[in-house]
Amino acid sequence: MAEKKSGGKKPAAKKPAAKKAAAAPVAPVEHVPMRNPDFPVGVDYYPLDEERRSWSDWYDRDPEPDFAAMAASRISDVRVFVSWRCLETQVGQYDEDAMERLERIVEAARAHDLKLIVCFFADDRLAEMNEVPWGKRRDSRTDDYLIQRELSLVQKIVNRYRAEPVIKAWDLGNEAFCSGFETETALEKWVTELREAVREVDPDRPVLLGVDPETLLRETGVDPRGAIDLTERAWSHLTAPYRAYIAEGPVTSGPATYTDSFLLRAALRDLPVVVDGIGVHALEFSAAEEAAYVRTALYSALMNRASGAMLRRWRDLETEKREPYFRDPFEVLVGVVDVTGAPKPVLNEVKRFAAVAARLDPRRYALAPERAAVVIPAERYESLPSLAGLYDPRACLQAYIAAKEAHVPVTVAREGDELGGYHALYLPSPAKLTPAMWADLSAFVQGGGSVVLSYGGGDVDPALREIFGVEFNGDAGPRHAFACRVAQPGVLGDLRSFDARMDLPHYGLVTASGAMVVATDATGSPLLTVNQYGQGKAVFIATPVERAIAQNDPWATPTPVRHLLRTVYGTVASAAGAGAMLECDTPEAEIAHFLGEDDDILLILSHNAEKMTATLTTPRTVATVQDVRGGAPAEVGGKTFCVPLGPNGVAALRVKFG
């Protein structure tokens, strides 16, 4: 591949256009803000940084140096955690010294132009912030008396700072605290009461609940979406237990690098979503791995419509010198500076990221719309003994990855959502869909939409025959090999025949009754069919391939299987008008295309821990490509150019067409 040796990670024009660039005119110097107010980067500032400290040491330190370092690193938001135990030492008596500590934090934030998000009820399993001694071990989430005391505390703090511009938002509780709720009703009641208490005093500033709808559901079985809808901001984050469930494996490659953005997409409904808790969960990673992971998570947030990003912790927790060490699934141990306060490589990543984010003015650039969606089936909310609630999120993550690998602008929807805005839908391995969803699918395809459905086991709805044009003859059960024989080359992209060693949990025996058989298994049983139904297309995969990828080894999926899935997804999306706006030869390069009037911005993120070069082909002739942070533009003069990417590297390019 002819690459212009431009050094570093600058884009290189491909040969036809790599003629010695006549020194392109340097753009006039424009004022670039230090931070992007529309995409703030924040950090959680925990009260204790040493395990040997006690609850009474809550923020008993000078925050000034830390806040100065944060401001220098282009961090703009800081979340601080209220200690009920320190503040209300006896019923109705608030400790002035503790109030003074909170005041010191506010002053430090004011001095460094930082914004504070105040979290009232949090559990970090160290500072015992909610364990009021007079609470007599009653549950502070459900006990009426304690809730009344909580309301008083909240109103006291909000009242004190209601005119304080440094306060950006009120966070009612973090996920570790909220995981103690046992029902949706109890959570919603608590949120409603606290929110009203805040609103009585402060009618303006946003109130939020620091929980992720997916991770909390997984942890507790409580669906917090109703409670989140009572607030003004939504949060999304990956917890250690959820990571162990959905993508346990190396954090700098494979599914782990897509998990943050998958959760973000799943959390995006009507409210703006901040990606929270960015950072590794354990102490076992090297500084370089931490930095690579944080870089991936930060850019994933920016590329997938987040409204901001919050880092997991400012300073490493200094743990006691004892082994083995285990704190808790919700552990927050790893920060962006070490125990001495010295910055770790990850802080440089944050700084660089903030510099890039500052160049992305949402008034000038808009992310290309997503017309394709991975649909989470309603059965995902079923509890055991149904295994759908366990299988479906994993299958949906694999579908999301396949769509990303096909460079399809994709989002996550749920069964029952309005489908009118989409052109292509992916339904990964559902065991069943509701009759209403079948009706919606029928209308969607008839109206010109395209659907990819993979068989999820068991019986199927009669609507399968109508929409997908196949007759279902039963489940052939599990298989230990995945064979594909292409019968109709070119119909669903560049498919190839293969035999791969892979366990398949089910294989649906179907015969075509109107659909075209595009590929079969080794015995001739249809594997992949496509049916024209009304104005749209319905593609059926006879095996739960997304689930199979998730349940085998997602870090070692046979290459042809991944190729099959992303080719089908990409081809279907393109035919439906929901495909990629540009072509890229590297599946592991995620691309976000921000459209502007004069130029576009491309963010290209590598999900690979090795170096690679992505070759991009655009439908229009590219005049110049330039790093968004500045530097001389490189002339291209063609439709194709190459972008070298380091391990888990990122390129942020301003592209001018001509």
Positions in the binding site for other proteins (CB under 8 A): 240-241, 244-245, 248-251, 281-282, 284-286, 289, 323-326, 384-385, 387, 390-391, 457, 478, 501, 505, 551-553, 555-556, 558-559, 609
Rank residues 272 and 560 by Cβ distance to other proteins and give the closer one.
Answer: 560
CA atoms of 494 and 413, how far apart (whole Å): 28
| Cα–Cα distance, 410 to 424 (Å, whole number) | 9
Give 76 or 552: the residue with its C-beta nearer to other proteins.
552
Helix (H) or strand (E) holding 101: helix 96-111
- The distance of closest approach from Cβ of residue 283 to other proteins in the complex, given in angstroms and rounded to an integer, is 10
> Would you call 338 exposed, middle or buried from its count of C-beta atoms within 10 A (0-12, 13-18, 19+)?
middle
CB of 432 to other proteins, least distance (A): 12
What minimum distance in Å lies between the beta carbon of 460 and other proteins? 16
- Residue 609 identity (one-letter amino acid): A
Q: Which is nearer to other proteins, 286 or 535 (CB)?
A: 286
The residue (of 29 and 384) whose beta carbon lies closer to other proteins is 384
Identify whether the C-beta of residue 234 lies closer than 8 Å to the C-beta of residue 264: no
Q: Which is nearer to other proteins, 291 or 358 (CB)?
A: 291
Q: For the residues of 371-403, what is the DSSP string, one character each?
A: -EEEEEPGGGGPPTT-SHHHHHHHHHHHHHHHH
Residue 359 or 506 with smaller CB distance to other proteins:
506
Token pair listed for 589: 């390069």
Answer for the pair 381, 406: CB distance below 8 angstroms, yes or no: no
* CB closer to other proteins out of 163 and 384: 384
Yes or no: say if 607 and 634 are a contact pair by the CB < 8 Å rule: no
User: CA–CA distance from 421 to each of 110, 265, 446, 577 (Å)?
Assistant: 43, 15, 15, 12
Nearest distance from residue 318's CB to other proteins, in Å? 17
* CA–CA gap between residue 298 and residue 627 (Å, rounded): 18
CB of 249 to other proteins, least distance (A): 6
Pair type for strands 479-486 and 508-512 = unpaired
Distance between CA 69 and CA 285 in Å, rounded?
24
Nearest to 552 by CA among 501, 608, 495: 501
If the CB atoms of residues 94 and 498 are measured against other proteins, the closer one turns out to be 498
Shortest distance, position 607 Cβ to other proteins, whole Å: 15
Give the H/E segment covering residue 642: strand 634-645
By beta-carbon proximity to other proteins, the closer residue of 32 and 244 is 244
By beta-carbon proximity to other proteins, the closer residue of 323 and 418 is 323
State the nearest-atom distance from the C-beta of 45 to other proteins, in Å: 24
Q: Which residues of 202-232 are buried (b: 16+ CB within 10 A; e: fewer)?
A: beebbbbbbbbbbbbbbbbebbbbebbebbe
The CA-based angle 289-293-298, given to 5 degrees, is 150
CA angle 329, 332, 335 (to 5 degrees): 150
* 504 vs 591 by CB, closer to other proteins: 504
Tokens at 560, concatenated: 């042809």
- Residue closer to other proteins, measured from CB, 24 or 509: 509
Question: Which DSSP category does 166 fall into?
Answer: T
Nearer to other proteins, 136 or 501 (CB): 501
Cβ closest to other proteins, residue 242 vs residue 299 = 242
Give least dist CB 329 to other proteins, A.
Answer: 8
Q: How far is the CB of 270 from other proteins (least distance, A)?
A: 30
Give the residue with the Cβ less far from other proteins, 196 or 248: 248
How many Cβ atoms sit within 10 Å of the Cβ of residue 522?
14
The 8-class DSSP code of residue 56 comes to G
Q: What is the three-state SS of 565-626?
A: HHHHHHHHHHHCCCCCCCEECCCCEEEEEEECCCCEEEEEEECCCCCEEEEEEEEEEEEEEE
Specify which residues 499 forms β-bridges with: 483
> What is Dmax (Cα atoms) for the chain?
78
What residues form DSSP beta bridges with 453?
Answer: 427, 540
Measured from the CB atom, the residue of 413 and 609 that comes closer to other proteins is 609
Q: To the nearest whole angstrom, how small is the minimum distance from the Cβ of residue 333 to other proteins?
A: 11
The distance of closest approach from Cβ of residue 157 to other proteins in the complex, given in angstroms and rounded to an integer, is: 35
Contacts of 494 (CB under 8 A, 6+ apart): 567
Q: Measure Cα distances from 578 to 7, 278, 342, 417 in Å.
A: 35, 30, 46, 18
In angstroms, give the least distance from the CB of 457 to other proteins. Answer: 7
Residue 290 CB, nearest approach to other proteins (Å): 10
Least distance to other proteins, CB of residue 556, Å = 4
CB of 492 to other proteins, least distance (A): 24
Instruction: Name the minimum Å distance from CB 557 to other proteins.
Output: 9
In contact, 593 and 560? CB cutoff 8 Å: no
